[in-house]
Amino acid sequence: MADDGFPMGRETPEGVAADLARAFINSDTGLFSASCIRPYGGGKVRDEYSKFLEATLERMREERQKKVASSHNPVKIGKVFAARHLSADGPASYGYASFDFQDIMFVDVGVFLQNGERSLNRTLVIRDKDGKWYVHPAPDMSPLLSIGLNEEKASAQDFSEVYEIQR
């Protein structure tokens, strides 16, 4: 558990999803890089994903340097829901067969934004061959890994209902 009372780390899908939010909250390029799934596959998709990662890191560096974040950036995590599997079986099968991914799930993370609004971020999480969880920060780049992601029903179960929390 992090100081904010939410999970952290790559041992659980909820932990890495919350870490992604923290990376944006703090413009933390190291945490962002550690949280994201490695460039995978080949060709155009791999190149586009690698470019996306580098562009995101550059934006984070600029925001950190300017000490001015976008009004749409998160400032605080408000809620982390329990991870769920996608309804479609295809993404997990495709990920395993093509990239040796061990599991694919998603986590809804509620955040408060700079402009005072709230936002719910649906985060695709992948258990890689090393047994650790990572986020895919741009799942629309890999439609076969994220079929139905945005059509899933709203999450209702808090992460604390699934894990025994050590205080």
What DSSP state is assigned to residue 114? T
Q: What is the pLDDT averaged over residues 112-127?
A: 93
Residue 1: inside a domain: no
User: Are 111 and 119 in contact, with CB atoms under 8 Å apart?
Assistant: yes
Residue 18 has pLDDT above 60, yes or no: yes
Strands annotated E in the chain:
74-80, 84-85, 103-113, 118-127, 133-136
How big is the chain, counted in residues? 167
Percentage of the chain beyond pLDDT 90 is 72
Residue 64 has pLDDT above 90, yes or no: no
Residue 167: inside a domain: no
Residue 29: inside a domain: yes
Residue 138: inside a domain: yes
Question: What total number of domains does the chain contain?
Answer: 1
Give the domain extent around 155. 13-161
CATH of the domain at 57: 3.10.450.50
Tell me the whole-structure pTM to 2 decimals. 0.91
Q: What is the pLDDT averaged over residues 115-128?
A: 94
Pair of tokens at residue 90? 């295809």
Q: What is the dihedral of CA 137, 103, 132, 4, to 10 degrees?
A: 60
